Structure 1
């Protein structure tokens, strides 16, 4: 693949991370840019989508225990922490990406978050040691990760009684079998990507 083709193939993901950065859009670190590793499958949530999501979560994120599955750039967890979430756990399988996440936590002097270098699905097969109020699920596309992640969260007791679960996935994924006690609150589709927010009943 030539240089021009490579640039084109990464064009969508780079819209939100010019020069390998994510930007925090509100809260105590508003406008702060954090470096991001350029890795295959790493597709940070765009600023516009992130703004929509955190408008949905406006009254819930403060003092929430947050879990960021398939954390990648950490964009969602860092945004939640910027908006005064109580704590955040970031799950990331790639060693270099996890290292960058830890460095970014140090850069922000965060003491209420931790990075777990692990495969998210394997991690969620364990019985939970902590329950979470907000869970972000934004896995690499086209790998069939959304449904097993959601089932494991429910079955292994990771969710607080009124937990909110955010899912970002391929727009064509219309046949998900999610836990019956999850209620769809918000939904939006932009191009190839679908965004959904569920409430655990």
Structure 2
């Protein structure tokens, strides 16, 4: 009997022009695509139509969040990934979809976040490997990069309290827990006033 080795599985894009398109997920350390249910909820929170939005998927991995935003009409999506195999998979998917609004950057997400023009993005997706130590630096960079009315999506293994978010000038707008995933839609504290 021959044992087959499968080094990929798939998730699917759930809305927009690329709806139902499968995304191959390669087997890489720390790569854990956002579950369908969580992505569906996130894009219900953000809205189905992202036309004109400028988005950044800081730890792109499978590209599930960035390609979902592109599928829903985002004007631009920057996807950052440092793993060579994951990056190559993102390139293949971008070509397959002819996703011209998607820019792929091979490199360190924290460096790229710091190099972003302040207040230049409508949403930053942060879904780093759960065992990483990048949380504070990623949140600081994302808070700086989004507009005053922009959003930061944070996916983590734990719930982030208002007190813990305060140093970044962020607050929770919506959150949910699905299995081991804590999903947070954050905004600047002043955006909630008025």
TM-score range, shorter chain: 0.7 to 0.9
| Matched residue, 1:73 | 62
Q: Distance in 2 between matches of 1:59 and 1:181?
A: 27
Q: Distance in 1 between matches of 2:89 and 2:74?
A: 21
Shift of 1:63: 1.9
Shift of 1:69: 0.8
| Matched residue, 1:188 | 176
Q: Distance in 2 between matches of 1:152 and 1:36?
A: 27
Q: Distance in 2 between matches of 1:172 and 1:133?
A: 23
| Matched residue, 2:97 | 108
Kept after mapping to 2: 8 A contact 1:61/1:134: no
Could you tell me which runs of 5 or more consecutive residues in structure 2 were left unpaired when the two chains were aligned: none
- Relative distance call for 1:96 and 1:179 in structure 2 (3 A) is same
Shift of 1:172: 5.7
Q: Number of residue pairs matched?
A: 184
TM-score (norm 2): 0.85
Which one has a larger percent helix, Structure 1 or Structure 2? 2
Kept after mapping to 1: 8 A contact 2:57/2:124: yes
| Matched residue, 1:160 | 147
Q: Does 1:118 align with 2:107?
A: yes
Aligned-pair Cα RMSD in Å: 2.4
Kept after mapping to 2: 8 A contact 1:166/1:196: yes
| Matched residue, 1:54 | 43
SS in structure 2 of the partner of residue 141 of structure 1: coil
Kept after mapping to 1: 8 A contact 2:49/2:72: no
Kept after mapping to 2: 8 A contact 1:163/1:199: yes
Shift of 1:152: 2.1
| Matched residue, 2:157 | 170
Could you tell me which runs of 5 or more consecutive residues in structure 1 were left unpaired when the two chains were aligned: 8-17
Q: Distance in 2 between matches of 1:116 and 1:146?
A: 20
TM-score (norm 1): 0.82
| Matched residue, 1:12 | none
